[in-house]
Structure 1
Amino acid sequence: MATSSEDEANHSGVSAEGRSFRFKFSPDEAFPPGSFVTFRQAPDRSALGQVESNSERPAGRAAASGRILGVIDEGGRLDPLASSPFRSAEVAAAGEETIELLHRATGATLEVGSLTTNPDVPARLLPHRFNRHTFCCGQSGSGKTYALGVVLEQLLAHTELPLVIFDPNGDFVRLPNLRADAPGEAAERRKFGLWLLLSTQRPSKVHPSIISQCDNSVLMKMSSPLDLTELGAVFGFAPARCCPGPPASARVRPCSPAGSCRLRALCRSETG
């Protein structure tokens, strides 16, 4: 983790090794866990980061820390593998265009809603990483069925992933009937195997060996202390401050290509 410095001032970020960061800000400003920020190091060079935690500090200051997701070069491209340590860099909230650089760099094209920290920015998942088992959990009424339906619809419309859905409640019987405004041709022409998408409201009832085989994880609203305790290990990748949230919010880890960052996205599937 980046270390603090005497030169670390309000809106000045520090990264000792180019992979993590710290910065201070006023408590009346909003840099919640999950939000994206940029660090301007030079007119033609900056880094993109994601806040993982923040805390109150004396003298009316707050401090945030998180991970660097990549470096933006002078051509406006994001390299998720690059690192660039800095002693002092200007901090600002990342806008839609900058976040889209991350989507393009990692190949995230499946739109499933919007980011809770940036409501005007689409939340996108990586289609080629659904050749892994996926585990989705949340209490009754948290929005699992709707969110899963959005993901399945996107996979049908934009990939060639074969789907076999065990649907005892009949929630997805109309899924083969795509909306009139859905794309007519697949945007992603990839060949997939057959993989499991598991959705449950009682994760404690699922055998641990099944959950351990799921590389992608989605956490909806959970209030059961027992379930939350057991899920602590499953969602150990997610900062604790990112886990609580309102109904219908999903905490998603879409795995990125080998060697690049793993994105912890906080998103909302819109029902309106």
Structure 2
Amino acid sequence: MTETCRARSTDGRTMTLFLTGPGPSLLPGDLVVADDGEESYLAQVVQPPLPASTLEPARPGTGSVIGRIGADLVPHRSDRAPFADAAVSPAGPDHLGALLDARGADLPIGTWSAGDGGVAARVRAAGFNRHSFLCGQSGSGKTYALGVVLEQLLLHTDLRMVVLDPNADFVRLDQPREGADAAQVERVAHMVRHGFRALGAPGNEAGREPMLLRLMTMPRRAQAAVLQLDPILNREEYHSFHQLTSTIRSSEVAEMVVEMAAQGGGAAALAQRLENLGLVDWEVWARDRRSAAETIAEEGGTTVLDLSGFRDPREPLAVTLDVVEHLWTHKEDRTPTLLVIDEAHNLCPPDPEDPLAAAVVRRLVQIAAEGRKYGLWLLLSTQRPSKIHPQVLTQCDNLVLMRMNSPADLGELGTVFGFAPADMVAASPEFVQGEALLAGGFVAVPSLIRMGERLTREGGSDVPVPIARR
């Protein structure tokens, strides 16, 4: 390649890029080799240099030095030194692959082109021991991308995963996609053998195990949220309820209401509250069956909770609260657990509208702040970062950014995820479906990738426009 760019580094960590002639242009995120005649260094372009024009003078670019390239092409981060003048050329596929190997990137999720050729894009399974945030506007391929990531985690880790799935998009992670070859079918069967189940609304048409909860085993504060009891504003009812729970004979809501009504006084008022809230008609009471929280604790593996199909939207929210409370109550077990929340703005908004939603958000905020030391990690997916509670968003250390057109959202992402290079974030509006920027501890370097194919069937899809045939 004709030499068109040179670089210098005064600290061995950052470098300045200078154009010396016409040639192929560099892009944000490209990997290059800087060779000063004695040593070669692998580096990443942060801001490309620009040639002079009739309107503006030439502008130097900037880059980040990854490490000195050894004989095995592995870049050694601890072995960096300043250099005064180095020729710059695009890194080859071997350089990219050696970097991924050195950083322990082991989950293939697509393709990565960041120099003179491309390789399989791989992320670090070990990097999911931090909270992760995936965002992209509608049509960017966000849900599909999340499915690709979940498949690889199912295949290559023993993580316990709990997937809160509002649109039934991941209930078929145990079913090979149409056209899958024999090897892919076997890989899906391997995932199923390691434990997979999807729970749905009671009486769901798919015949899935019902998603249930047990009111009397929930923590007191969670019970109060379900009953919309404020310990101050409703102090008499609140006190009466927790006195009654130790004397009432039945743990089933309908029978509890009958007993409470028969006792009169404050107990009768509580019975009216349960009836007025419609709790008697809820289908999620476990009775003699397992609750969703009990299923997760007993079975391990991966459990998808299909939050769609309920008659009362508070029912799946109550089950969600029971599950996250159970995970937090048993945090000292330190069972590595990834809590995946698709369309996370539904469960983790900045301003929840009612006590039940507020209770879910309060626990998720605590998991975001303290869960990592107990092996409780979040993976959130949504269309807009501004719709996520800030105390959860700011705790995320991994970013998957797909197409996003909103300047306000991109500005917020640039502030929260400062480790993602600004020029790479700014390219987001031009991403095509399936393209993504990955940054954080689960990737070797910030990377612009193209997501690969799913192994399993998608549970949901967009509704097409009916085209008239005249």
TM-score range, shorter chain: 0.7 to 0.9
Q: State the alpha-carbon separation in 2 of the partners of residues 70 and 181 from structure 1.
A: 39
C-alpha spacing 1:163/1:238, structure 2 compared with 1 (3 Å): same
Deviation at 1:87, TM superposition (A): 0.9
Q: Partner of 2:112 in structure 1?
A: 115
Match of 2:36 among 41, 55, 61: 41
1:112–1:151 Cα contact (<8 Å) kept: yes
SS at 2:160 equivalent: coil
The corresponding residue for 2:12 is 18
Judge conservation of contact 1:34–1:265 (CA < 8 Å) in 2: yes
Bigger RCO of structures 1 and 2 (CA < 8 A, at least 6 apart)? 2
Gaps of 5+ in 2: 177-183, 195-334, 337-374, 455-470
* One-letter code aligned to 1:182: R
Q: Are 2:414 and 1:232 aligned? A: yes
C-alpha contact 2:436 2:450 (8 A) present in aligned 1: yes
RMSD over aligned Cα atoms: 2.7
Matched, 1:93 2:90: yes
How far the C-alpha of 1:240 sits from its partner, in A, is: 2.3
Whole-Å separation in 2 of the counterparts to 1:216 and 1:234: 11
Letter in 1 for 2:32: V
1:133 matched to 2:131: yes
| Aligned length in residues | 255
2:243 is aligned with 1:246: no
Instruction: Tell me how far 1:236 sits from its aligned partner.
Output: 2.3
User: Which residue identity is paired with 2:167?
Assistant: N
Aligned to 1:171: 169
How far 1:181 moved relative to its partner?
Answer: 5.6
Mapped to 1, the partners of 2:34 and 2:185 lie a distance apart of 42
Q: 1:11 to 1:225 in 2, by over 3 A?
A: closer
Partners of 1:75 and 1:138 in 2: CA distance: 37
1:19 partner letter? R
**Structure having the larger proportion of residues in helix:** 2
Distance 1:270 1:47, change over 3 A: same
TM-score (norm 2): 0.50
Distance in 2 (alpha carbons) for counterparts of 1:238 and 1:202: 17
Aligned match of 2:209: none
SS at match of 1:68: strand
Unaligned runs of 5+ in 1: 1-8
The secondary structure found in structure 1 opposite 2:377 is: coil
CA distance in 2, matches of 1:174, 1:196: 21
Output one character per residue of 1:166-199: Cα deviation in whole Å (capped at 9) or x when no partner. Answer: 111111111134632639599xxxx833421100
The alignment status of 1:82 with 2:82, answered yes or no, reads no
Give 1:62 deviation, angstroms.
6.2
Q: CA offsets per residue over residues 56-87 of structure 1, 9 Å max, x none?
A: 23279664321011111235432122212111
Aligned to 1:144: 142
**Which of 173-182 and 78-87 deviates more?**
173-182
Larger Rg: 2
How far did residue 266 of structure 1 move?
1.0
Contact 1:79 1:105 in 2 (8 A): no
Paired with 1:89 and 1:159, the residues of 2 have a C-alpha distance of 42
| Residues 1:212 and 2:394 are matched in the alignment | yes
Contact 2:131–2:397 (8 Å) recurs in 1: yes
- CA–CA separation in structure 2 for the residues paired with 1:231 and 1:133: 15
Deviation of 1:46 (Å): 1.3
* Percent identity (aligned): 42
Contact 2:18-2:49 within 8 A present in 1 as well: no
* Structure 2 counterpart SS, 1:165: strand
Per the alignment, residue 303 of structure 2 pairs with none
> 2:40 aligns to what SS in structure 1?
strand
What is the alpha-carbon distance in structure 2 between the residues aligned to residue 223 and residue 174 of structure 1?
Answer: 31
- Please report how far the alpha carbon of residue 39 of structure 1 lies from its aligned counterpart in structure 2 after TM superposition: 1.3
